[in-house]
Amino acid sequence: MTILETRDLKKYYNSGETTVKALDGVNLKIEAGTFTAIVGTSGSGKSTLLHMLGGLDRPTEGKVLVDKKDIFTFKEEALTIFRRRKIGFVFQSYNLVPVLNVKENILLPIELDGGRPDQAYIQKIITLLGLEEKLQNLPSNLSGGQQQRVAIARALAGKPAIILADEPTGNLDSRTSQDVMSLLKVTSERFRQTIVMITHNEEIAQTADRIIRIEDGRIAKDGE
């Protein structure tokens, strides 16, 4: 079953006289429950693609379908709600809320939705990610790896169908990267989640079900 699909997706940025074609006609189908890695050189348009898939930004042209629904037909408010129920984001730069502690950060998306967190499940994630000791800490008191783990816990907490991760291991040493990756795989398998992850790390890319290579805003290579 196709859970994510793009049709002729384009994103152009105008800066003065020049136009940057960050995405230039991307067609893509991703099956539910798979693990896809996106690779490519810096500036090739990976992050832009991921943002489009998650509905964070609107494309210049083309469509993104999540669960067969064209997400850009939604109103801003509805899109946000759709996103927080369906998609979990993990950013390269963690993007934790600096004024909330670890526990509060993790629960935030669920609470924003007015939902009741599945305590047992949350506890399991926290244990898996080794964050029990840090629950009361503010993000600024954590190391980069710890912050990334909190960001992952937050993305998983709402049991989203899709996890979009932008270089989640970029700031981590190789051992921690391994841990984080295996964790992502374990949880995604357990909860049948779809993962799309940008990475520069060949090793990590090799563990994916599918690797998509982006060059100059287009898909250059697609395969296992």
Partner 1 sequence: MLRVRNQKTIRRLANRSFSANRTRNIMAVIAVTLTTLLFSALFTTAISVKYSTEQTTMRQVGGYAHCGFKDLTAEQKDTLKTHPLIEKYGTNKVLTSLEEGVFEKNRVEVRYIDEIGADMFFCSPTTGSLPGTERELATDTWVLDQLGVPHKIGEQITVPFVFHGETREETFTLSGFWERDSAAMVSEMWLSEEFVDQMLSEYTPDERMVAMGAGKWNLDICFANSRNIPGNLETIARDNGYEIEDAMAEKYLRTGVNWAYLSTHSNQGEDLLSIAAVVFLTMMIILTGYLIIYNIFQISVSSDIRFYGLLKTIGTTGRQIRAMIRLQALKLCILGLPLGLLAGYLAGNQISAIVMKNMSGQQVYLTLNPWIFAGAALFSLLTVLLSCHKPGRIAGAVSPVESLRYTESVSGKKKSKKDRHGPKVLQMALANLGRNRKKTVLVILSLSLSVVLLYGVSAFSAGFDMDKFVAKFMTADYLVGHKDLFKNRFGSENQELKEEFLASVNSIEGIRESGLIYYNTGNTTASMTKAQYLRFLDPMQMQTLGDEFHALGDEDLTNPPIGIYGLDEMPFQYLKFVDGEVDYEELKKGNVIIQLVHQDDYGNPYLERAPYSVGDEVTFTYADEYEYIGDDMDAELVIHKSHEKTYTIGATAVLPGPLTVRRFGGANFAVAPEILKKEAGEKAVRMSCLVNMEEGMEDQMETFLERYMENADSDLDFESKKGYSDQFQSFRRMFLLIGTAASLVVALVGVLNFINAIVTGIRARRREMAVLQSIGMTGRQLKEMLILEGCAYGISAILLSLILSLLMQSLVLGQLEHILWFFTAKWIWSPILGMLLVFLVLGAVIPAAAYRTVERQSVVERLREVE
Residue 141 has what DSSP assignment? Answer: G
Under the binding rule (CB under 5 A), the answer on residue 47 touching Mg ion is yes
Under the binding rule (CB under 5 A), the answer on residue 201 touching Mg ion is no
Residue 51 neighbours by CB under 8 Å, 6+ apart: 57
Q: Is 133 exposed, middle or buried (0-12, 13-18, 19+ CB in 10 A)?
A: exposed
Element (H, E) at 114: none
- 108 makes contact, choosing from ligand ATP, Mg ion, partner 1, none, with CB < 5 to 8 Å by partner type, with partner 1
Strand 69-70 and strand 18-31: pairing?
unpaired
For Mg ion, the closer CB: 200 or 210: 200
Scan residues 16-35 and list those touching partner 1 (CB under 8 A): none
Measured from the CB of residue 57, what is the shortest distance to ligand ATP in angstroms?
Answer: 8
Q: Which residue is listed with tokens 């984001």?
A: 89
Task: Write the binding mask 59 to 78 for partner 1: x where contact by CB under 8 A, - elsewhere.
Answer: -----------------xx-
For ligand ATP, the closer CB: 52 or 195: 52
| Interacting span for partner 1 (CB under 8 A) from 26-34, 91-99, 180-188, 192-200 | 91-99
Under the binding rule (CB under 8 A), the answer on residue 154 touching partner 1 is yes
Options 113, 132, 133, 215; binder of partner 1; rule CB under 8 A: 113
| Residues 214, 49 contacting (CB under 8 angstroms) | yes
Residues found near ligand ATP in the complex (CB under 6 A):
13, 15, 20, 22, 40, 42-48
- Spatial CA neighbour of 36 closest among 218, 208, 222: 208
- 111 makes contact, choosing from partner 1, Mg ion, ligand ATP, none, with CB < 5 to 8 Å by partner type, with partner 1
Residue 65 neighbours by CB under 8 Å, 6+ apart: 4, 5, 6, 7, 71
| Residues 165, 88 contacting (CB under 8 angstroms) | no
Q: Which residue is listed with tokens 């995405």?
A: 23
For partner 1, the closer CB: 111 or 189: 111
Binding interface with partner 1 (CB under 8 A): 51, 56-57, 76-77, 80-81, 83-85, 89, 91, 93, 95, 97-100, 104, 108-109, 111-116, 140, 154
